[in-house]
Structure 1
Amino acid sequence: MAPTKRFESTLVGLKYPSERDSVIKTGAKWLKDKRQDDGAEGLWRVDDKLYDLSEFAKSHPGGTEWITLTRGTDITEAFEAHHVRSTAELMLPKFFVRNAIAPRASPFTFKPDGFYRKFKARAREALKDVDFHKSSRTSNLIADSLFVGTIALSVIAATTRSWIAIVGSGVLLTWTAITGHNFMHQRDSFRMYYMDLLLLSSREWRINHALSHHLFTNTVQDMEITAFEPFLSWLPRPDKGPFTRFVSWIISPPVYTLMIFEEGLKRIYSTFWEWNGPGVRDAVPFLIPAAMCVVAPPAVALWTWMKVIAVASFHFTAVGVSAAHHHPDIFHDGDVHREDMDWGLAELDAVRDRAEIDTSIFLVLTSFGSHSLHHLLPSVDHAYLYLCEPAFAETCKEFGISTELWSQWDHVKGQFLQLVNNAPKKTANTR
Structure 2
Amino acid sequence: MVDENIGKKWGDTTFGGFKYPTGRDVGWKTGARWLEGKRKDDGAEGLWRIGDKLYDLSKWIRNHPGGSEWLTLTEGTDITEAFEAHHITLLAEKLLPNFYIRDAVTPRSSPLTFKPDGFYRKFKGRVREALKDVDIHTSARSTNFIADFLFIVTLALCVKAAIAPSWLMIVASGIFLTWTAIVGHNFLHQRDTFRMYYMDLSLMSSREWRIMHILSHHLYTNTIIDLEITIHEPIFYLLPRKDKSLITRYFSWIYFPLVYCIIYFLHAIRRVYSIFWEFGGPELRDAVPLLIPTLMCLVAPPSSALVTYLKIIVVASFHFGVAGLHAAHQHPEIYHDGDVRRKDMDFGLAQVDTVRDRLEIEASTFLVLTNFGSHTLHHLLPTIDHTYLHLCQPAFEQTCKEFGVSTETWPIWKMWWGFFKQLENIQPNKIESTR
Common fold by TM > 0.5: yes
Counterpart for residue 229 of structure 1: 233
Number of the residue aligned with 1:320 = 324
> Equivalents in 1 of 2:66, 2:278: separation in Å?
23
3-state SS of 1:55 partner = helix
**1:304 deviation in Å?**
1.0
Aligned runs of 1:406-425 on 2, under 5 Å?
406-425=410-429
Q: CA deviation at 1:16?
A: 1.9
Post-superposition offset of 1:412? 0.2
Separation in structure 2 between the aligned mates of residue 323 and residue 380 of structure 1, nearest angstrom: 19
**Partner residue in 2 for 1:383:** 387
1:101 corresponding residue in structure 2: 105
1:164 counterpart letter in structure 2: L
Q: Secondary structure at the match of 1:50?
A: strand
Aligned partner of 2:167 among 163, 167, 181: 163
Opposite residue 378 of structure 2, the aligned amino acid is: H
Aligned with 2:54: secondary structure?
strand
What letter corresponds to residue 210 of structure 2 in structure 1? R
Contact kept in structure 2, 1:208 and 1:223, CA below 8 Å: yes
1:212 and 1:186 mapped to 2: Cα distance?
A: 16
Q: CA deviation at 1:244?
A: 2.6
Cα distance change of structure 1 residues 395 and 310 upon mapping to structure 2, 3 Å threshold: same
Aligned mate of 1:195, from 187, 193, 199: 199
Q: 2:264 aligns with which of 251, 260, 265?
A: 260
Post-superposition shift, 1:419? Answer: 0.7
Query: Alpha-carbon deviation of 1:7?
Result: 7.5
**Native 8 Å contact 2:357 2:376 kept in 1:** yes
Which structure 2 residues correspond to residues 49-88 of structure 1 after superposition, within 5 A?
49-88=53-92
Question: Whole-Å Cα distance in 2 between the matches of residues 328 and 12 of structure 1?
Answer: 16
Residues 9 and 220 of structure 1 are in contact (CA less than 8 Å); yes or no, is this contact kept in structure 2?
no
Contact 1:132 1:381 in 2 (8 A): yes
Question: What amino acid is the match of 2:407?
Answer: T
Shift of 1:248: 1.5
User: In 1, are the aligned partners of 2:15 and 2:224 still within 8 Å (CA)?
Assistant: no
Q: What is the match of residue 41 of structure 1?
A: 45
2:432 maps to 428
Quick one: which of 95, 105, 119 aligns to 1:91?
95
SS in 2 for 1:195: helix
What letter is aligned with 2:240? P
Corresponding letter in the other structure for 1:54: S
Partners of 1:225 and 1:219 in 2: CA distance: 8
CA distance in 2: counterparts of 1:304 and 1:94, whole angstroms? 55
Note the aligned Cα RMSD (angstroms).
1.2
Aligned partner (choices 20, 28, 32) of residue 28 of structure 1? 32
Q: In the alignment, which of 176, 181, 185 is matched to residue 177 of structure 1? A: 181
Identity of matched residues, %: 63
Q: CA deviation at 1:8?
A: 8.7
Displacement of 1:334 after TM fit?
A: 1.1
In the other structure, the counterpart of 1:147 is 151
**1:292-371 map, 5 Å:** 292-371=296-375
Tell me the amino acid that sits aligned with residue 254 of structure 1: L
List runs of 5+ in structure 2 lacking aligned partners. 1-7
Any conservation in 2 of the 1:9–1:219 contact (CA below 8 Å)? no
Aligned-pair CA distance for 1:294:
1.3
- Number of the residue aligned with 1:128: 132
Q: Per-residue deviation at 1:5?
A: 4.7
SS in 1 for 2:101: strand
Question: C-alpha separation between the residues in 1 aligned to 2:307 and 2:248?
Answer: 33
> Any idea what the Cα deviations from partners look like across 1:259-282, whole Å, max 9, x if unmatched?
110110000000000002001110
Q: TM-score, normalized by length of structure 1? A: 0.98
- C-alpha spacing 1:360/1:108, structure 2 compared with 1 (3 Å): same
TM-score under structure 2 normalisation?
Answer: 0.97
Match of 2:114 in 1: 110
Gaps of 5+ in 1: none
1:12, CA displacement in angstroms? Answer: 4.6
Asked if the contact 1:126–1:388 (Cα under 8 Å) also holds between the matched residues in 2, the reply is: yes
Q: How far apart in 2 are the matches of 1:269 and 1:406?
A: 39
Measured after TM superposition, the shift of residue 416 of structure 1 is 0.9
Aligned to 1:249: 253
Instruction: State whether residues 339 and 429 of structure 2, in contact with CA within 8 Å, keep that contact through their aligned partners in structure 1.
Output: yes
Residue of structure 2 in register with 1:275 after alignment: 279
Alpha-carbon offset, residue 6 of structure 1? 6.1
Give yes or no for contact 1:11–1:107 (8 Å, CA) kept in 2.
no
Alpha-carbon contact 2:22-2:38 (below 8 Å) kept = no
1:13 aligned residue (4, 14, 17): 17
1:190-232 deviations in whole A, cap 9, x for unaligned? 0000000000100110000000000000001111111211011
CA 1:251–1:346: 2 relative to 1, 3 Å: same
Q: Distance in 1 between matches of 2:150 and 2:263?
A: 22
Contact 1:349 1:429 (C-alpha < 8 Å) held by counterparts: yes
Deviations 1:174-197 (A, max 9, x none): 000000000000000000000000
Match of 2:4 in 1: none
Matched position secondary structure for 2:122: helix
